[in-house]
Amino acid sequence: AKGLDSLKELPEGDPMKSAHSYLAEGKETWSPDGHTPLPHFDGLTEEEHESGMTFADFVPGVFMVAHVDYLRSVHILPLGPEQTQLTVNWLLPITTIASHDVDMDRLTRFARQVVAEDQLVCELNQAGLHCQPQKQGVLMPQEHGVLWFDNWVRERLGEAIMSDTSGQT
């Protein structure tokens, strides 16, 4: 999938709008081999078929990924400073369920692998909670979403908002 490195890459620069993430050439969906035995959603444009998926964020804790053959919703719920509940749902049209023998292991395998890899990165990052407090840190330009979220939290806490995306928060 193509990553987004700056706000300029998002449609109209708005992080609340959907952004297409392109699959490798010849692949059609997130699956172990990039293919699906399931029917594609009706009414998809050529661009939607080629992209294979469309992301939509619902800040602060939900995002959805519309693949050509299913929809995946992800809900992230903080349970405390050191624990988060992650709920992932795979949604299929009732007509697909009624007319196809859906192999749920195959359908969910690739996304479960990605979630497991992301979980490891988050756990490694979480270990830093017990380090000495820092007044500021450095963000990479690709972490504009982290800066946006930090500022969202600061705004709600009534703290000054820092908008420098060059690396300071």
| pTM exceeds 0.85, yes or no | no
Q: What is the pLDDT of residues 64-110, one digit of tens each?
A: 999 999 999 999 998 987 888 999 999 999 999 999 999 999 999 99
pLDDT 10s digits, 21-77: 568 888 899 888 999 999 999 999 888 888 888 888 887 889 999 999 999 999 999
Q: What is the pLDDT of residue 131?
A: 76
Residue-wise pLDDT tens digits, 118-143: 889 888 877 777 777 767 777 777 77
Does the pLDDT at position 4 exceed 50?
no
Q: Are 10 and 17 in contact (CB under 8 A)?
A: yes
Q: What is the pLDDT of residue 98?
A: 93
pLDDT tops 70 at residue 162: no
In this prediction, residue 156 carries a pLDDT of: 85
The per-residue pLDDT for 160 is 55
Q: Are 64 and 55 in contact (CB under 8 A)?
A: yes
| Residue of higher predicted confidence among 85 and 158 | 85
User: Residue 112: is its pLDDT beyond 80?
Assistant: yes
pLDDT-derived band at 159 (thresholds 50, 70, 90) equals low
Statement: residue 7 has pLDDT above 50: no
